[in-house]
Structure 1
Amino acid sequence: MKVLAFAATSSRQSINKQLVQAAGDIIKSDLDPSADIEVIDLNDYEMPIYSIDRENEGGIPEEAKRFFDKIGSADAVIVSYAEHNGTYTAAFKNVFDWASRINMKVFQDKPQVALSASMGPGGAASVLNSATGSAGFFGADIRGSLSVGPFGEKFDTEAGKLVDETLNQSLREALAALVEDRTSSEKAA
C-alpha cells in the first residue's frame, strides 16, 4: 500500500507535518508494516498564484502536474490542514487551485484521512470542517478525520506522537479505516 501524506502548509516547522509523520508511523508500526509512506512538502510545488490569465498564457505548471500525479500514484492520502484565519493556507489553496484545472477531482477518489492541528484549543477545526465538507466534490473519500489542539499539550514533539490517549485512539481508528479496505482487497487478489 502506498500512502501519500502532506501538511497543507508551506511552514517548514509545521506541527501539521509532525502530525502526518506520526500518522505514517502508526500505519507502519501497527497497521501495515509493508506500507510505503511518502511525506511530501508543499514547498516543492510552489508556483505563481493561480489566475485564468496565467493559465491561458502559459498552461498548467509542471509543479501542479507533479502534485496531481503524486496523488494519482498513491493508494491512500493523509492530509493535515493548517489553518490561517479560519481557512486554508494560501500555499495549499494555490497548489489545489492549479491541480483542480487538471481535474476537479484533485484527490482522484482516493481514500483519505483528514487531520488538522493548531496551538490553540480549536485544533484548526474550521478548516478541517471546510475540507471534509467539500471533500466529495474534489474526489476525496474521507475515511476519518481528527482535529488536534492545543497541539503543544496533546503531542510530544520529541517522541513524535500524540500523548492524549483519546486522540491517539481516534487517530488509530481513522487510519485503520484507511488501511482496511486496501489490505482486504490485496488479500483477496
Structure 2
Amino acid sequence: MADANPDAVDSEAVTSQSRARRLTRRAAHGVARPAAALLHTYGTEHAIDGTVLVSALIAVGWKYETDLEVFLFTLGTVGVFWLSHIYAGVVAGSGSAGRPREAVWARVLATARHSVGMVLAMLLPAFFLLLAAVGVLDEYVAYYIALWVGAGILAVLGYVNAARRRKRWPLRLLNAAATSALGLIIIWLSTLVH
C-alpha cells in the first residue's frame, strides 16, 4: 500500500484552517455588526438627547415612592418627547422640495426610525428600574444605577469618538471624562427646570 500523499494532507489542513478562519471572521463580524449598529444609534443626537433626558427624569423621579413609578414616569415622558420629534419631523418635512409627494406614513416611519435613539437611550436605565420592580435589586441600588447609567453611556461615547479620531488612550480617557462631565452638568441643569 502506498502512503498518503503528503501534499494532499497539507492541502486538506490548509483548507480546514482556512475554513476555520473564515467561520471565525464571520462569527466576529456577526457580533461586531450589531454592536457597531447599536453604538452608531447611541451616538446619534437623538440618543444623546434621550440619554440626558432619561437621566434628568430619573433624577427628578426621586419624589415617587417606587422604582416602578419612576419607570412609568420616564416611559411616559420619553414616549411623549419621541412623538413630539416625529410630529416635528413630519410637519417640517411635508411638502419639502426634495420630497414633494412623499406619503405621510412614509415620512412618519422615516422620522421615527431616525429618532429611535431617543427610545433606545431609555432601555438600559429602565432595565435596572424594572429589576427593582420585580424584587431582583434593592430599590435604592437600582435607582442609583439607573441614574448613573446615562453618565456611563456618555463616557463610552466620548471614548469611542476619541478612538475614531485615532487619539492615544490617555486622550481617549480624558475625552470620556469630559463628555461625561459635560453631560452631568446638562443633566443637572435639566433637573433644575423640571
Task: Report which of the two structures shows the higher radius of gyration computed on alpha carbons.
Answer: 2
Which of the two has greater helix per residue?
2
Which of the two has greater strand per residue?
1
Question: Structure 2 length normalisation: TM-score?
Answer: 0.28
Question: Structure 1 length normalisation: TM-score?
Answer: 0.28
